[in-house]
Homo-oligomer: A and B are copies of this chain.
Amino acid sequence: MSEQKRVMLTVAYDGTNYHGWQLQPNGETIESVLNRELSGLLGESIAVIGASRTDAGVHSNGNAAVFDTCTRIPAEKISYALNQRLPEDIVVQGSKEVEPDFHPRHCESRKTYEYRILNRRFPLPMRRRDTYFYHYDLSVEHMRQAASYLVGEHDFKSFCSTAAEVETTVRTIYSLTVEREEDIIAIRVTGSGFLYNMVRIIAGTLIEVGNGRRAPEDMAKILAACDRGAAGPTAPACGLTMLGIEFR
């Protein structure tokens, strides 16, 4: 054993077979697998702190997690050793030492999420895990116009499933783009932080704009309502991938 250090992991996962990030009384989660395999690897009881506690079925290419350890293994080597023990649907992309008081949820960061819609006549088997299949026509142009209302600092209470649990529902969206490439419409959003289900409710609302049920300019009224009932449905988890997080 050596002196205690705090290590940050960048964690990619296919969320299909997990009950989300956070520990659950029943069912495997990303956090429970990391805690178990890190404890086994390091011979200590390890409890990670995650940056984004993603929901069941949501994926990530680069979530962040920190933990404290007294191991002699250099922080940079932990990723390689840990990947030997992890299942194929969780792969650590890197590990490094951070300041002992660094907390991935209590510091300034920019998170980027992507919501992917497979918009074609029939589902494609190879994309069934990382897209939401939607076969009606969608106007990317209208979705873009609607998205522009959400950029900036706003009260996103209408786009939050459980507003009661947070101090404030004000958040900042730095960018929100809608791009079509062949059959896939990707909604990519970067923000200071996101409320519970916020990206999926944005996606569900943009889909209702895309299919013509709502007008792009309705977004202003939806924001102003500060009422979850004003926005569209929560789009399914499988379409959502947390792309990464940038700490300032």
Which A positions have Cβ atoms within 8 angstroms of B? 12-14, 59, 61, 79, 83, 88-94, 121-126, 128-130, 241
Q: Cβ of A125: which chain B residues have Cβ within 8 Å of it?
A: 12-14, 59, 88-91
Bound CA–CA A129/B89 (angstroms): 10
Cβ B61 vs Cβ A126 within 8 A: yes
Q: Cβ of A83: which chain B residues have Cβ within 8 Å of it?
A: 122
Closest beta carbon of chain B to A157's beta carbon, Å: 32
> Closest chain B residue to A124 by CB distance?
B12
Closest beta carbon of chain B to A89's beta carbon, Å: 5
Bound CA–CA A50/B228 (angstroms): 51
Q: Cβ of A128: which chain B residues have Cβ within 8 Å of it?
A: 14, 88-89
> Closest chain B residue to A241 by CB distance?
B126
What are 30 A-B contacts defined by CB distance under 8 Å? A12-B124, A12-B125, A12-B126, A13-B125, A14-B125, A14-B128, A59-B125, A59-B126, A61-B124, A61-B126, A79-B122, A83-B122, A88-B123, A88-B125, A88-B128, A89-B125, A90-B125, A91-B122, A91-B123, A91-B124, A91-B125, A92-B122, A93-B121, A93-B122, A94-B121, A94-B122, A126-B129, A126-B130, A126-B241, A129-B129
Bound CA–CA A63/B246 (angstroms): 42
Given contacts A91-B122, A126-B129, 16 further A-B contacts (CB under 8 A): A12-B122, A12-B124, A13-B125, A14-B125, A59-B125, A59-B126, A61-B126, A79-B122, A83-B122, A88-B125, A88-B128, A89-B128, A90-B125, A92-B122, A93-B122, A126-B130
